[in-house]
Amino acid sequence: MFLWQYLTPLLLIAAQICKVQTCDEFTDLNFGHAFIGTSISIRLLLYTRENGTCGTLLSHTNLSAHPQFKLSRPTTFAIHGYRPTGSPPVWVGNITELLLYRKDVNVIVVDWNHGAANVNYFKAVENTHKAAANLTAFIKRMQEHGASLSSIHLIGVSLGAHISGFVGANLNGAIGRITALDPAGPQFTGTAPEDRLDSKDAQFVDVLHTDIDALGFREPLGHIDFYANGGTDQPGCPKTIFSGGSYFKCDHQRSVLLYLESLNQTCASRAFPCSSYSEFLDGNCLNCDRFGAAGCPVFGYDITMWKDILLKLGHTKTYFTTTTKSPFCMSGYRVDVMIWNKDIRWGYITVKLHYKGTEAVATIDHKSLKFQKYTETRLFAQFDKDIPSVHKVSLKFSNGNVFKPKYKLRVLRIRLTHLERKERPLCRYDIVLEEKREVTFRPIPCEESNF
């Protein structure tokens, strides 16, 4: 009895500690739930730098119940999309961790898995309006307790992008920022602005498109729209249906992976304003003067550095390319080629840059290139990695047709200009490229000339 007098308080304290340390997690459903269908239910999971890996389930009505939820801090909401299998999104933990690393904010994961988990996609679409109404009421309550709408950032994936838009519209566009990651296309394409995400839904709306020919939305929706690899067929994603489920969702999901990489600052993807992807690949859109000293926008989390000028421009449509896997960003060069062949030559060029055993490769093969005597052909070369200094360059020319005779491309001058670094272009003069034979040389700083 005497021993229990001392043990009981200790056990009560231990129980309280365990209770405090209990973490709330994202709803984990399965295909059975999706097959039967789920009704809408919203759970808001709070993460802060004090509890970065341990979610706290917020009350929708009693905000004072959570002292760690400081409304003086900015708040970022992460909103997922359609969940046909009922499983939690794999990116939730990563985006929470990276957002908190970048800034001292409240991160709220909007768990509407009950409502998104449904084999009937049309029902999930219907539930987006209900989810938005719930979230709008919560944000209004935040505002009543002193939160500024300008300090709120909504990050929406697929259907979550349109939920963000509905919330923003409900709040008369006063939300600070909406980031839309491959907004859903089915059931939203061709609809009026009030029935989908629109640039008027927040003070600033940035949008990434990665699957415009299937699950994503094709047309521009924000103040700036980024089209990765033209918005279709992301590198490294399966090309045939025999790859299983990945064939259907890989392009769509790439949007989240690209955004996560922008958060962790692995590297930067510079995006160029252009009217079309083909014009971009042709190198006709490399002028960034309209953006001043900052240059063309860099995709991702830090796009707000260009916010003021983008708002003045009204809307900007941009393109960038990526590699097949992380790190996804590429390094761009302008390549100018002048030949002295008597006849016109058509073909493709592969360029390799060498530096201390590291090799960066760019294959310019989106279309057959035209080379004409004493006429400069401008190419846009995008390398799979950036190297600090170019020691050697390798070139290979091909006409791309096994039935045509082999040609030689007599190059009077080739000039390589890095699009990021303000450094002197590199040149090589008077070289002969035999078809499908790689030629390697040391470049020299370009000299001013009359040709």
Alpha helices in 87-234 (DSSP H): 92-102, 113-116, 121-144, 159-170
201 assigned binding-site residue: yes
Instruction: Output the CA–CA distances (angstroms, integers) from residue 77 to 41, 59, 109, 371, in the order listed.
Output: 16, 15, 6, 52
Sheet holding 106-111, edge to edge: 56-57, 43-47, 106-111, 75-79, 152-157, 177-181, 205-209, 224-228, 316-320, 272-273
Q: Can you tell me the distance from the alpha carbon of 303 to that of 300, in angstroms, rounded to the nearest whole number? A: 6
Q: Would you say 150 and 78 are in contact if contact means Cβ atoms under 8 Å apart?
A: no
Q: Which position among 111, 182, 206, 225 bears the catalytic label?
A: 182
Structure tokens at 208: 């990434």
User: Is 83 annotated among the ligand-binding residues?
Assistant: no
Catalytic status, residue 195: no
| Residue type at position 150 | S
Identify the three-state secondary structure at position 32.
helix
Catalytic annotation present for 129: no
Active-site hit among 114, 252, 255, 262: 252
Q: In whole angstroms, what is the distance from residue 159 CA to residue 127 CA?
A: 10
Establish whether 182 is a catalytic residue.
yes
How many whole angstroms separate alpha carbon 103 and alpha carbon 106?
9
Q: Which of 111, 114, 153, 158 is catalytic?
A: 158
Tokens standing for 36?
């039967």
Q: Are 209 and 277 in contact (CB under 8 A)?
A: no
**Known binding site for Ca(2+): residues?**
196, 198, 201
**Known binding site: residues?**
196, 198, 201
Positions marked active-site: 158, 182, 252
